[in-house]
Amino acid sequence: MNGLNWQILESAVLRRDPFEHFHVGNALSADCAAAVWADYPDIRDSGSYSLSDARPGPALKALIADLESERFKRVVERVFAIDLRDRPTLVTLRGHCSERDGKVHTDSRTKIISLLLYLNRDWVGGEGQLRLLRARSGFDSQAVEIPAGMGSLVAFRRSDQSWHGHSRYVGPRKVLQLNYLRSTRASWIGGLRHRLSALSKVRPPG
């Protein structure tokens, strides 16, 4: 089964407004999109979960391997003109939004590149979609809105101006998060933090 849509990803281009990012609306093959939907762990609470606490099924595990591959790293390096050699990655999963989620922020300084891959089938849009902002206080005048539908992928370079967030939304919202980090220590600490915050409501697929 094909996973990532390499033809589209390998022709992705950098956007600089409101900060450096790229967006691909259809990052998955049709077969992969159908398989990961059925394969996604049953996360019924808010927060980011480690892969140890929200165990992916086979199709999702294969997709994560593609995202952590050297081939995909080369895509990111080309678009951002950056060297990610020896930079560790951290993958987490989210499955549900609460009223507390979506606040405008810039991400931790331990992150170099942040990537979000949305895995929501039949997403209608509107509330709950990511907004890339020009300022912390400019939520209603966003520069870019990222759809949260199946296969929508956005990656951006973390900076003190990489403001982003989403409007209030409560309900299921599946997203895979991948970060390229500055150090192995940051990866270990991030993984531990997500493990400690994981709750017992996670169920394996099926």
**Which pLDDT value is given to residue 184?**
65
Tens of pLDDT, residue by residue, the chain (206 residues): 679 999 999 999 999 999 999 999 999 998 999 999 989 999 999 999 999 999 999 999 999 999 999 999 999 999 999 999 999 999 999 999 999 999 999 999 999 999 999 999 989 877 899 999 999 887 877 789 999 999 999 999 999 999 999 988 999 999 999 999 998 655 444 444 544 454 444 455 44
* Domain positions in the chain: 6-197
CA-CA distance, 22 to 11, in Å (whole number)? 11
Render 25-72 in DSSP notation, one character per residue: S--B-HHHHHHHHHHS-B--SSS-EETTTS---HHHHHHHHHHTSHHH
Q: Are 47 and 196 in contact (CB under 8 A)?
A: no
Please report the pLDDT score of residue 206 as a whole number: 47
Q: Is 6-197 in CATH node 2.60.120.620?
A: yes
pLDDT for the residue numbered 167: 86
One-letter identity of residue 21 = H
- So what's the pLDDT on residue 165? 94
Give the tokens for residue 6. 């390499």
C-alpha–C-alpha distance, residues 155 and 79, integer Å: 10
Using only C-alpha atoms, the chain has a radius of gyration, in whole angstroms, of 16
Number of Cβ within 10 Å of residue 149's Cβ equals: 18
For position 193, what pLDDT does the model report? 52
Four-CA torsion 156, 181, 110, 173, nearest 10 degrees? 60
Query: Which pLDDT score, from 0 to 100, does residue 200 have?
Result: 43
Peptide bond between residue 204 and the one before it cis (omega within 30 degrees of 0): no
